[in-house]
Amino acid sequence: MTGINKKRVLNAGSGLSGHGRLPSPFSPDLWEEVRLDADPATAPDVVASLVDMRGKIADASFDAIYSSHAIEHLYTHEVIPALREFRRVLKPEGFALVTCPDLAAIARQLLQHGAETIAYHSPAGPIRPIDMLYGHAQSIANGRAMMAHRTGFTAERLARVALASGFTEIRATEGSCFDIWTALTGPQAPVAAIAAMFEGSDLARLFAPQAVQGP
């Protein structure tokens, strides 16, 4: 669209092009996507670790961050530094949309059906509880060791580490594929305007009153 200054969204831990596709509310007519990944083989716009984007991404330079199934690849001690980096690169009115495997949902599936029963199918192939816990086994066997999972989250744990990282409001909801979806905002974020962006999408439930978690 001509005459419109697009907002910028950082796809943090984007993976291969198209793999971490942005949710529909990030319309390409209104949003410019910048892909960041630690693995140069994914051909991102920016090669950098989520834990330290300094020198690659300027302070307060993005309106939003989208991070899909990336933070579970960090070590536990790296999670808060990574989320602090999210805060640093976001504008004061910005927000982060973060999704990752849900340990509670995975545990229920594992107890009911076992560790190696197929839970669902993804573009990467069949996904089993053991893949959700430790990383997609076939991808790792094919040489992509960075696909290993090094930590895990429940909604409560993700809210706690996000608050410890400087976010002041966390909205969480369960996804449809044994995952958690969260919207992380700071004190200056216009939550009503952000909620309006998601109206009509599956993620509108993030902005229901029961989704809020705060201090």
Q: What is the pLDDT of residue 82?
A: 98
Q: Is the pLDDT of residue 148 over 90?
A: yes
Averaged pLDDT for residues 59-82:
97
Q: What is the pLDDT of residue 196?
A: 96
Q: What is the pLDDT of residue 2?
A: 45
Q: Which of 156-165, 180-189, 206-215 has the lowest mean pLDDT?
A: 206-215
| DSSP assignment letter at 102 | B
Q: What is the pLDDT of residue 20?
A: 57
Where do the domains of the chain lie, and which CATH numbers do they carry?
Answer: 7-101+151-213 (3.40.50.150)
Q: Is the pLDDT of residue 1 over 50?
A: no
Q: What is the pLDDT of residue 168?
A: 96
Rounded (5°) CA angle 129-134-136: 75
Distance (Å, rounded) from C-alpha 39 to C-alpha 121?
A: 24
Kindly tell me the burial class for residue 5, based on how many C-beta atoms sit within 10 Å of its own C-beta (0-12, 13-18, 19 or more). exposed
Rounded (5°) CA angle 26-99-30: 10
**Ranges of H-type helices in the chain:** 79-89, 103-113, 129-134, 137-141, 155-164, 191-197
Q: Is the pLDDT of residue 29 over 80?
A: yes
Q: Is the pLDDT of residue 96 over 60?
A: yes
- The string of pLDDT tens digits covering residues 108-139 is 999 999 999 999 998 888 999 999 999 999 98
Q: What is the pLDDT of residue 106?
A: 98
Q: What is the pLDDT of residue 4?
A: 73
Which residues lie below 8 Å from residue 143, measured CB to CB, with a gap of 6+?
none
Average pLDDT over the chain, rounded to an integer:
93
Q: Is the pLDDT of residue 51 over 70?
A: yes
pTM beyond cutoff 0.75: yes
Averaged pLDDT for residues 65-91:
97
